[in-house]
Homo-oligomer: A and B are copies of this chain.
């Protein structure tokens, strides 16, 4: 996974990540890849043995991922993989609109984030050519991370990364990633072209449309599950 698409929190500069953080990263990927399904209960003893860490360390990991929204902790009953709901999807898109659209609208057209957006689009175009839709989804997330990076706000960036992780959890539930991601590559291309040309306001409008459409698509796919 490339640096631009890494969804794990920023680590203390240049130092070896602790075992707890490494383990958190592993467990996060296990969850996001669908290896562990939403609602599933994570037994401390069993998972500690599987991951080859102590129960104490695993409990620290649980605390981290619970704060991230990936796990859900019920006292004296255990931790469970969070189960996305329609309410959470609606909330996530509401937050995304509130953050991404102004971020793009007020962007400086030569900010490095624009380059990151362009890279993500180009990669997505290439990956769509070979029908690797899961990777297309990853690049799509990178595209939107780059939009928020335009703000240079550490807090907004961290918050948005967390939201993106939650959304990826939802994607794991849905099938047909082609339908979920393919239609938006061209739109992303137009957004970044406009932003790069200085028309950030126009790009922001398009981004709003993107979010509306994407929300509808995901909600529809999600509703088909229930």
Q: Which residues of A contact B (CB under 8 A)?
A: 12, 15-18, 20, 56, 59-60, 63-64, 67-68, 73-76, 91-92, 94-95, 98-99, 102, 151, 153-156, 159, 163
Ordered by A's residue number, 25 sampled pairs between the chains whose C-beta atoms are within 8 Å are A12-B74, A12-B75, A15-B74, A15-B75, A15-B76, A18-B75, A20-B63, A56-B56, A56-B59, A59-B60, A63-B63, A63-B64, A67-B67, A67-B68, A91-B153, A91-B155, A94-B153, A94-B156, A95-B155, A95-B156, A98-B98, A98-B99, A98-B102, A155-B163, A159-B159
| Closest B residue, CB atoms, query A66 | B64
| Closest B residue, CB atoms, query A166 | B155
Contacts of A17 in B (CB 8 A): 75
Q: How far is the CB of A71 from chain B (nearest CB, A)?
A: 12
Contacts of A159 in B (CB 8 A): 159
| Closest B residue, CB atoms, query A54 | B56
Task: Give the CA-CA distance A163 to B59 in the complex, in Å.
Answer: 26
